[in-house]
Structure 1
């Protein structure tokens, strides 16, 4: 596939999804360069709740989810207003994965989860879906190794069990979101060349947008 074919991704809103430590931020940066698209990152460094959440998840799960929902909604609106598309490190739709998992594991009570879902539903009336989601498939064990390697203080309490449960929640999320947004899953157990990946994404997206027309001949009337 020729390099100029990547141009069919210009102006698109591409969401990058995956487990914690999957490599979303790195890919987001590189794809932004290759495709000449603005990049939008997950609010991690400025997140005043994250460290508290990992230390006491039951107490801080609800305020963390509300904080992230607000931050991502602002980011989503910025992408729409600027009208240039972009590569986004985790979209607002992905937050539902964490909220549901927290509820099912007893770290977020049903009342707070219902409030979160209602707020998300209200905000969704003002959102425009990404054109495509690229999901990075990484095993929980590999994800944990990458988390340890980047050595963020707020992530030191993340366990393998947490990542295994998160992986299961992602499978449900991908099955649902793929009904309304095209999803491309990429084996990201090893980092790949972003230019090659951009070409493959463009190729797959072109297939997804191909319009098939079926015509029926009008039967000739018998005389």
Structure 2
């Protein structure tokens, strides 16, 4: 078990549509963990952002920043008598990735940076990060299959740029070991053997950045 190896905060990361929330929920159920999920539905600016990114990027980003800060601070620092493991479908650092992608106005980005830096001082860090990867066609197919209306305008080029930023961030991440899992050839939602491959890889709890490419059938 992860807690026996010193992991009490596990973060699942990845680009839009890769399956991080689904995996976080599965882990919470299988391993009796407390689960924190990103409140994308509560962001009043997100739908407008997908319609006009330049006009609503700052408001959208600032809402996510403050909400993630509140969630992680309250959940990770609060004593829980029933769960030894906390699993989230994001890291606090994720916000910086999206900010660098979406905030094209220099003044807005500078203001965002100032707020983010002030809030980050007391943020808990994960003990292990699982970074899920997938090719752009796979991501687009998964986004389409889940059918969120606000995401219908997401394009391959946007995902490609975003994934490049994610890759750079987690290849240079030093706050915790990172397990990078390529999910192109597996379906851990509908295939139990694929899921077990993923769970087993996580349970091994790598002590350094590790790349895992499971071969599904």
Secondary structure (helix, strand or coil) at the match of 1:204 reads coil
CA–CA separation in structure 1 for the residues paired with 2:139 and 2:112: 27
TM-score, L = length of structure 1: 0.82
CA RMSD of aligned residues (A): 1.8
Task: Provide structure 2 residue ranges, at least 5 long, that are not aligned to the other structure.
Answer: 189-193, 209-217
**1:219 — aligned with what?**
none
**1:115 — aligned with what?**
111
Secondary structure (helix, strand or coil) at the match of 1:42 reads coil
**2:90 — aligned with what?**
90
Runs of 4+ in 1 over 6 A off after TM superposition: none
Select the structure of larger CA radius of gyration. Answer: 1
CA–CA separation in structure 2 for the residues paired with 1:179 and 1:81: 22
CA–CA separation in structure 2 for the residues paired with 1:85 and 1:114: 35
**1:179 — aligned with what?**
174
**How far off is 1:202 after superposition?**
2.2
TM-score, L = length of structure 2: 0.85
**1:102 — aligned with what?**
102
1:1-223 to structure 2, matched below 5 A, reads 5-6=1-2, 8=4, 12-83=8-79, 84-103=84-103, 108-176=104-172, 178-189=173-184, 190-192=186-188, 193-205=194-206, 207-208=207-208
CA–CA separation in structure 2 for the residues paired with 1:93 and 1:129: 9
What number of residue pairs does the alignment pair up? Answer: 198
CA–CA separation in structure 1 for the residues paired with 2:5 and 2:114: 33
Please say if residues 11 and 37 of structure 1, whose CA atoms lie closer than 8 Å, have aligned partners that are also in contact. no
Secondary structure (helix, strand or coil) at the match of 1:181 reads coil
Task: Provide structure 1 residue ranges, at least 5 long, that are not aligned to the other structure.
Answer: 209-223
